[in-house]
Amino acid sequence: MTIENFICTEFCKAIASIYSQAIDIKQVQIQKTKKDFAGDYTINVFPFLKITKKSPEQTATDIGEFLKNNLKEVSTFEVIKGFLNISFSNSFWINKLNETLKTNNSTPFDKKNILIEYSSPNTNKPLHLGHIRNNLLGHSLSEILKENGNHVTKVNLVNDRGIHICKSMLAWQKWGNNIIPEKAEKKGDKLVGDFYVLFDKEYKKQIAELLLNGKTQKEAENEAPLILEAREMLQKWEAHDPEVLELWNKMNGWVYTGFEKTYNELGITFDKTYYESKTYGLGKDEVLKGVTTGALIKKDNNSICADLTSDGLDEKVLLRSDGTSVYMTQDIGTAIMRKNEFNADEMVYVVGNEQNYHFQVLKLVLKKLGYDWSDKISHLSYGMVELPEGKMKSREGTVVDADDLVEEMYSTAKSISEELGKLDGIPETEKNEIIKMVGLGALKYFILKVDPKKNMVFNPKESIDFEGNTGPFIQYTHARIKSVIRKANEAGINIPENISENTEINENEKSIIKLITDYNNIIAEASTDLNPAIIANYTYQLVKEYNHFYHNCSILKEENSEIQSFRLLLSNVTAIRIKNSMKLLGINVPERM
């Protein structure tokens, strides 16, 4: 039973005993007491004044007195208007710490079968900073959902077909001179991305010429020779033209090799990878079937649409007039394929907020096609990530390449660590491992500490700081605790398996215990809200409290052996919580720094 449930249950008993009336536990409003007031938990008594027929202050006082007199766990209480602040005894918190030591992990709340899609790159460009946020969110959410007792399947959907792929292919045909990644001395994804940028550059030249010849902007964009050739190539691809397929396989192969290196560097993995080229066919079949059942509309130009006007949207094209597919077509096929394969209770898509409309449409179209489970699709709509200098644009080649950013993080971590002397005396091999750990930890933490729904600015320099709400600060605190534990072991001081409930603890130590015992609630909240930032900021609060304790309380030099043992145990459990929490963010913590 959680602490909140315990309090709510006892509160209901108090109402029944004092006022002879039963209440539903769901009526009880409870929260952690705000820092400006004394107490551990606060209960709002206003909803029960009709039962008590007394003032808010008297009602809270009556219930507070009852709880204090009947529960050994309650030490004191305070009434602020209609709010009852309850304080638990030191022995209560020590017993909670001892309970934590017995299990040392979370209690699963959910037992769902959840499928989560993330990454979903296009094979016309390398992964960039925006993809990093996507991958880090997807990986972390998967770990959090698993920690909360769910069975999680991590999937990737590679957008390996479509007009954007044809643009890179066409540019390589025209201006590539048969260049391959090995000759170019580039990762394959970067080489293909260069041709995507080149296509856009030449396409814009052609548009400019057509504008000079009197064409409108829309006419110029639709009639430029390059875009007409790209569309023709897409039609050939869907018609299984051997030459086009051969080039497509070759260039996509370069990209997959490049992606894999980036994923490995970031520690990103998947249980299964889907390819749009393998799922769009099922989507087309479903769309055509939808016409025969009357769920979808075939227009005069042979395009097929879903009429969503009754849902407050518009008509959505699902097949173009030339018979080629759109993104929605393959997402329909992919969703059905996954449901048949995994029968997931929920399917979570980690995709940027520019696709909000897309997922509204996907759920509505699936519903029209007779798939009621579309209600179980959820879209984690995350905000854009920018740099201090502004937005990035793939077509113009102004994105921050993921590989380059990771290397920059390593370099910055190395220079700052050397400047501060953090790694002095550590062997070179171990030092390099720690530098990578700190560089990646800084990147991941800085991104994940922000609520996914918010836009954010990533500042590499701010992220690598050994003070404040950063990954390196948390990593350094873990290393500091492990150093204390090592010194205790070297001195022959054993860390006990539990603590006597009569041990004296101060307010700082109690605050740390509260955070340690709140872990399960934090996991549940992050899981429900699909928000790793809850884990990140919980970890920071724990680390901040511990550092305050570390600077104000003696540990190894403490003369009272009982208090020394308690503080060592508290330190050890804190280190475990830090390590586990950071693991949920995909971040490793060093044993020393």
The CA–CA distances, whole Å, from 524 to 17, 108, 142, 381, 397 equal 32, 9, 13, 20, 41
137 residue type, one letter: L
**What pLDDT is recorded for position 366?**
97
**What pLDDT is recorded for position 35?**
85
Radius of gyration of the chain (CA): 29
Alpha carbons 518 and 380: distance in angstroms, whole number: 25
DSSP-derived letter for residue 387 is: B
**What pLDDT is recorded for position 102?**
79
Which own/partner contact pairs does 179-184 have at CB distance under 8 Å and 24+ positions apart?
Answer: 180/254, 181/254, 181/257, 181/258
Alpha carbons 419 and 104: distance in angstroms, whole number: 37
Contact indicator for 55, 38 with CB cutoff of 8 Å: no
How many helices (H) and strands (E) in the chain?
22, 14
What b-and-e string marks burial along 405-439, b requiring 16 or more CB atoms within 10 Å of the CB?
bbebbbebbbebbeeeebbeebeeeebeebbbbbb
Alpha carbons 435 and 441: distance in angstroms, whole number: 10
Could you report how far apart the first and last alpha carbons of the chain are, in Å? 38
Instruction: Work out the angle at residue 210's Cα, subtended by the Cα atoms of residues 207 and 212, and round it to the nearest 5 degrees.
Output: 110
**What pLDDT is recorded for position 103?**
67
Q: Is the dihedral of CA 257, 260, 264, 265 positive or negative?
A: positive
E strands of 431-539, at which residues?
A: 456-457
Q: What secondary structure does DSSP assign to 282-350, as a single string?
A: HHHHHHHHHHHHTSSEE-TTS-EEEE-GGGTS-EEEEE-TTS-B-HHHHHHHHHHHHHHHH--SEEEEE
Contact indicator for 312, 262 with CB cutoff of 8 Å: no
Instruction: Of 456, 447, 458, 457, give the one whose Cα is nearest residue 533.
Output: 447
The sheet carrying 315-319 orders its strands as 297-298, 304-307, 315-319
* Helix/strand/coil for 531: coil
* Rounded-to-10 torsion of CA 540, 543, 549, 551: -100
| Residue 224 backbone phi and psi in degrees, to 5 | -60, 135
pTM: 0.90
Alpha carbons 282 and 375: distance in angstroms, whole number: 20
The CA–CA distances, whole Å, from 72 to 69, 174, 294, 436, 509 equal 8, 82, 68, 50, 21
**What pLDDT is recorded for position 324?**
84
The CA–CA distances, whole Å, from 550 to 31, 477, 487, 505, 568 equal 28, 10, 15, 14, 11
**What pLDDT is recorded for position 323?**
85
Cβ neighbors of 58 (< 8 A, separation 6 or more) are 52
351 residue type, one letter: V
For the chain, domains (ranges, CATH) are 3-88 (3.30.1360.70), 119-386 (3.40.50.620), 405-584 (1.10.730.10)
The sheet carrying 41-44 orders its strands as 29-32, 41-44, 83-88, 74-80
What b-and-e string marks burial along 458-497, b requiring 16 or more CB atoms within 10 Å of the CB?
bebeebbebeebbbbbbbbbbbbbbebbeebeeeeeebee
Alpha carbons 379 and 311: distance in angstroms, whole number: 18
The token pair at 294 is 């009357």
- For each of the chain's 593 residues, which pLDDT tens digit applies? 789 999 999 999 999 999 999 999 999 999 999 988 999 999 999 999 999 999 999 999 999 999 999 999 999 999 999 999 999 999 999 999 998 887 655 555 668 999 999 999 999 999 999 999 999 999 999 999 999 999 999 999 999 988 999 999 999 999 999 999 999 999 999 999 999 999 999 999 999 999 999 999 999 999 999 999 999 999 999 899 999 999 999 999 999 999 999 999 999 999 999 999 999 899 999 999 999 999 999 999 999 999 999 999 999 999 999 888 888 999 999 999 999 999 999 999 999 999 999 999 999 999 999 999 999 999 999 999 887 775 544 444 456 889 999 999 999 888 888 888 878 888 889 999 999 999 999 999 999 999 999 999 988 888 888 888 999 999 999 999 999 999 999 999 989 888 998 999 999 999 999 999 999 999 999 999 999 999 999 999 999 999 999 999 999 999 999 999 999 999 999 999 999 999 999 999 999 88
The token pair at 442 is 């800084």
Cβ neighbors of 62 (< 8 A, separation 6 or more) are 18, 52, 54
> Parallel, antiparallel, or unpaired for β 377-382 and 315-319?
unpaired
Instruction: Of 75, 77, 52, give the one whose Cα is nearest residue 64.
Output: 77
* Helix/strand/coil for 396: coil
Number of Cβ atoms within 10 Å of the Cβ of 137: 23
**What pLDDT is recorded for position 394?**
44
Cβ neighbors of 106 (< 8 A, separation 6 or more) are 147, 148, 149, 519, 520, 523
Alpha carbons 157 and 280: distance in angstroms, whole number: 12
